[in-house]
Amino acid sequence: MASLKDALMKAGIKPTEPVKKQNEREKIAKKHVTEEVQHQLQRNFCENCNQVRPDVELYKHRNPTTEAEWICVRCADQLQILDKFRMTAQSDTSIKKMFRREYGETIKIAPKSTVASTGGKPRGDFDGNR
């Protein structure tokens, strides 16, 4: 006596593949995202007013009324933080040379793009890039 499996094979019925094998996909090698893509080239979130603004810069200040470091121009003017405490020139307004302060003197800081193009030597009077 032959088994039922042998009888079905003789009749021409073939076994089907398991469901798991049908749903498997080819494994695609992932690219090294951290090496090829630079995330968050510019910060645009003000930690003081919790809004997305085009003029956010890093301030290393000693103002006791706020602990925020990434502050927009409006908040920096309201908190009366001088521009000499500004460490970056990375915002859209500073790249387009439209960055203006109403409280105190506006200091010229070279944006990172001009520092990289000159071989690491900053342009301008003040080297405030990190």
Specify the pLDDT at position 99: 82
The whole domain housing 85 covers 45-117
pTM score, whole prediction: 0.54
What pLDDT digit, counting tens, does each position of 111-120 carry?
565 444 445 5
What pLDDT digit, counting tens, does each position of 46-101 carry?
999 999 998 899 999 999 999 999 999 999 999 999 989 989 888 888 888 888 88
Instruction: Give the integer Cα–Cα distance in Å for 71 and 18.
Output: 58
Specify the pLDDT at position 32: 55
**Is 21 inside any structural domain?**
no
**Is 15 inside any structural domain?**
no
**Is 92 inside any structural domain?**
yes
**Is 129 inside any structural domain?**
no
**Is 40 inside any structural domain?**
no
The number of folded domains in the chain is 1
